[in-house]
Chain A
């Protein structure tokens, strides 16, 4: 993660009218919940009964 910044910190190509770096960050704001939700589902299959609200 840390070392990829120079790769995406650029203006071109403009995507959806946005500079690429802005677009990239916005994209990841959308992807993060997807990843977390995936983690949530994976954890759910490994039973943690103490954590479920009854």
Chain B
């Protein structure tokens, strides 16, 4: 069998197994695993660590980060900084959010906005922002599958057919039984990914340079500027770095699905202990950085940086191993894609359409609308993926620039009694509008700063000003501090 055939067979087999076994009960699997891990049960600590670390290896983490390490250099370091900050912020903010959620029976992000500000249009707008942000996120997952298949087939199978099939599969999963990850499918995927990460992060530098130290020494000798900021870019310098770290750290829990996972925690104490421990799992991301930087010297002239890691893996390891990684990688892309599509479609039908346009719609009607949205969202993301040419990291940042605009509404809502619905609404609209404007006119970074961050600052300022300018009302959700 040719290497391509071997690799592709492995990939298809793994994806098929994942699909066929399907997704049975086990919703909120990730949160449960975290809580179990953090609960300190003691059993299989090493195993649990491996699994949790494996969860960190998303398409973005694996392909996107290595892609940017290859093509941008230093700026990619923001990824190592923002996660710890996000967890640190969550330590203080999430327990409060959880308390309010428990008191008022909140389940979703729009629920929070509706309850705190008493404004369904604001809640609806939050839905829109979330869905808009999800599209580049979905696009990135589909791109990931396209990359994996095209590298595995040495370019014989194009991205477009691969992505189209993947999209079709994802939509099929969601239709079949409203996706929930099977415990062991996730486990196998996580385990594979962390093994892959270790093999790749240690193996590639070892095979090509004799170790991680020698690899960095060589890179420091030949291309030192690549390792610092702005690296290989003209404009991603220190101020961009700081603004992007802040943007993504604050936005981390603003994604609709991560936001609502807060409400499913057993207690606010669990959330705190989570926040303390989770940064340690991100340490394994360093492995991706090692491998990513190694590719700079191994493969100097690649057009699309996101292909770098897999191309080097294909060169360095036997075809079956590549296939194994590729298959795990494909699942790693498709499982979240399914969850995202379902979340977005449900949000649209239940929290946007019904409350605002069709209050008497039955639950059945909502379900049917959601299914229609699943297809629409899948097709839209596929369309963007086929015609787009952004790097995986750029796509995620695009999503962040929009979703983080929800942050002022959340944090001011929790801690500032005087925040009003109209104030937050105007602020959010300004923020989203600014972000979209700056991004579409390619003014990102602007004045050296991440465009989304600039939009966020403007958002905050407008929210505070507009809140003060509109009449105060006694909020149903009483902030703890004034």
**Selected A-B contacts with CB under 8 Å, 30 pairs:** A5-B238, A5-B242, A9-B238, A10-B228, A11-B227, A12-B220, A17-B211, A18-B213, A18-B216, A19-B216, A19-B220, A19-B227, A22-B289, A25-B77, A26-B80, A26-B283, A28-B81, A29-B279, A29-B280, A30-B280, A30-B283, A32-B85, A36-B275, A37-B276, A40-B276, A43-B272, A51-B95, A51-B99, A51-B268, A53-B267
Residue among B213, B217, B276 having the largest count of chain A Cβ atoms under 10 Å:
B276
**Bound Cα distance A30, B224 (Å):** 26
Residue among A28, A37, A51, A52 having the largest count of chain B Cβ atoms under 10 Å:
A51
**Considering only CB atoms, which chain B residue lies closest to A17 in the complex?**
B213
Contact B81 A25 (CB under 8 A): yes
Contact of B87 among A17, A36, A40 (CB under 8 A): A36
Chain A residues contacting B252 (CB-CB under 8 Å) are none
B residues near A (Cβ < 8 Å) are 74, 77, 80-81, 83-85, 87-88, 91, 95, 99, 211-214, 216-217, 219-220, 224, 227-229, 238, 241-242, 266-270, 272-273, 275-277, 279-280, 282-283, 286, 289
Chain A residues contacting B220 (CB-CB under 8 Å) are 11-12, 14, 19
Known: A25-B80, A40-B276, A53-B270. 13 other contacts (CB 8 A): A11-B220, A14-B220, A17-B211, A17-B213, A17-B217, A22-B286, A22-B289, A28-B81, A30-B280, A32-B88, A33-B276, A36-B275, A36-B279
Contact B91 A36 (CB under 8 A): yes
In the complex with contacts A17-B217, A51-B95, A29-B242 CB distance below 8 A? no
Chain B residues contacting A46 (CB-CB under 8 Å) are none
Chain A residues contacting B217 (CB-CB under 8 Å) are 14, 17
**Considering only CB atoms, which chain A residue lies closest to B267 in the complex?**
A53
Chain B residues contacting A37 (CB-CB under 8 Å) are 276
Chain A residues contacting B212 (CB-CB under 8 Å) are 17-18
Chain B at the A interface: mostly helix, strand, loop or mixed? helix
| Chain B nearest Cβ from A51, distance in angstroms | 5
| Chain B nearest Cβ from A10, distance in angstroms | 6
Chain B residues contacting A53 (CB-CB under 8 Å) are 266-267, 269-270
Range of interface residues on A (Cβ < 8 Å): 20 to 34
**Considering only CB atoms, which chain A residue lies closest to B238 in the complex?**
A5
Contact A14 B95 (CB under 8 A): no
Chain A at the B interface: mostly helix, strand, loop or mixed? helix
A residues near B (Cβ < 8 Å) are 2, 5-6, 9-12, 14, 16-19, 21-22, 25-26, 28-30, 32-33, 35-37, 39-40, 43, 50-53
**Bound Cα distance A36, B278 (Å):** 11
Contact B282 A51 (CB under 8 A): no
Chain B residues contacting A51 (CB-CB under 8 Å) are 95, 99, 267-269
Contact B228 A11 (CB under 8 A): yes
| Chain A nearest Cβ from B271, distance in angstroms | 9
In the complex with contacts A9-B228, A29-B282, A21-B238 CB distance below 8 A? no
Chain A residues contacting B275 (CB-CB under 8 Å) are 36
Chain B residues contacting A21 (CB-CB under 8 Å) are 74, 77, 227-228
**Considering only CB atoms, which chain A residue lies closest to B285 in the complex?**
A29
In the complex with contacts A9-B74, A36-B88, A26-B286 CB distance below 8 A? yes
Closest 6 CB pairs of A and B: A17-B213, A53-B267, A25-B80, A32-B84, A36-B276, A5-B238
Contact B280 A33 (CB under 8 A): yes
Chain A residues contacting B213 (CB-CB under 8 Å) are 14, 16-18
Contact A14 B216 (CB under 8 A): yes
Contact B84 A28 (CB under 8 A): yes
**Considering only CB atoms, which chain A residue lies closest to B215 in the complex?**
A17
**Bound Cα distance A51, B272 (Å):** 10
| Chain A nearest Cβ from B216, distance in angstroms | 6
Contact A29 B228 (CB under 8 A): no
Residue among A14, A33, A36 having the largest count of chain B Cβ atoms under 10 Å:
A36
**Bound Cα distance A14, B16 (Å):** 45
